[in-house]
Amino acid sequence: GAVVSQHPSWVICKSGTSVKIECRSLDFQATTMFWYRQFPKQSLMLMATSNEGSKATYEQGVEKDKFLINHASLTLSTLTVTSAHPEDSSFYICSAKGWGNYNEQFFGPGTRLTVL
C-alpha cells in the first residue's frame, strides 16, 4: 500500500512554455500533498503544501504565480510550471499524506524537467 505516482517522469520543453505535472495517491486518500524541488546532489526543498479543495500554501521565496498548484481531489494534485525558463530545470517530487496508518509521507518517483 501507500503508492504515489507522478506523471510524466521526465519532460523537455522550450523556454516560455508551461508544463503540468500530476501527482496521484493510488491506494489511499491524501489529506495533504506536498511538492518538493531537488537540484543535483542537494537535498529536497519544500515548495508548497496543498490540501484538497483549498489554496496551496507556498514556502518563502517560491513564486505562487509561477508554480500553480491545484488539489482537485483526495487523490490528485497538479503542479504547473508557467512560462518555464532554464533555471526552472530541476527534479520535482511530490509526496502525499493520509490519516491513520498513512500519517507518514509517501513520495512519488519524481519528474525531471529540462527547459531548453
| Positive/negative CA dihedral, 85, 110, 19, 44 | negative
Nearer to another protein, 8 or 16 (CB): 8
Residues 60-93, buried b or exposed e (16+ Cβ, 10 A)? Answer: eebeeeebbbebeebbbbbbebeebeeebbbbbb
- Interaction site with another protein (CB under 8 A): 2, 32, 34, 38, 41-46, 49, 91, 93, 95, 97, 103-107, 109-110, 112
For every residue of 65-93, DSSP letters joined together read TTEEEEEEETTEEEEEE-S--GGG-EEEE
What is the nearest approach in angstroms of another protein to the Cβ of residue 108? 8
The least CB distance from residue 16 to another protein, in Å, is 26
- Of the pair 31, 82, the CB lying nearest another protein is at 31
- Of 9 and 17, which has the nearer Cβ to another protein? 9
In the complex, minimum distance from the CB of residue 19 to another protein, in angstroms, rounded to a whole number: 17
Q: How far is the CB of 109 from another protein (least distance, A)?
A: 5
Q: Which is nearer to another protein, 52 or 82 (CB)?
A: 52
How would you classify the pairing of strands 90-97 and 32-38? antiparallel
